[in-house]
Amino acid sequence: MVRKKAKMAADEGFTLLEVLVVIVIIGLLVGFVAPAVLRQLGGARVSVAKQSIERLGSILDMYKLDVGTYPSSADGLSALVTQPSDVSNWSGPYLKSDGNLLDPWNHPYVYRNPSNRAGLDYDLCSAGPNGQNGSADSRDMICNR
* β strands within 22-95, DSSP E: none
pLDDT digits (tens, 9 = 90+) for 10-25: 567 888 999 999 999 9
- pLDDT at position 91 is 87
Q: Which residue has better confidence, 38 or 69?
A: 69
* Nearest-angstrom CA–CA distance, 49 and 44: 9
CA neighbor of 113 nearest in space, from 74, 72, 75, 85: 72
The helix or strand, by DSSP H or E, that contains position 107, with its residue range, turns out to be: none
Residue 63 pLDDT: 92
> Which letter does DSSP use for residue 108 in this model?
B
Q: Is the pLDDT of residue 135 over 50?
A: no
Which helix (H) or strand (E) segment holds residue 124: the answer is: strand 123-126
Q: Is the peptide bond before 129 cis (omega within 30 degrees of 0)?
A: no
Q: Look up residue 127 and give its amino acid.
A: A
For residues 137 and 26, the model is more confident at 26
Does the pLDDT value for residue 71 go beyond 70? Answer: yes
Res 46: pLDDT: 87
The pTM of the full predicted model, rounded to 2 decimals, is 0.67
User: What is the 3 state secondary structure string of 20-37?
Assistant: HHHHHHHHHHHHHHHHHH
Is a pLDDT exceeding 90 seen at residue 43? no
Terminal CA-to-CA distance of the chain, rounded, Å? 83
For 51-63, the pLDDT digits (tens) are 999 999 999 999 9
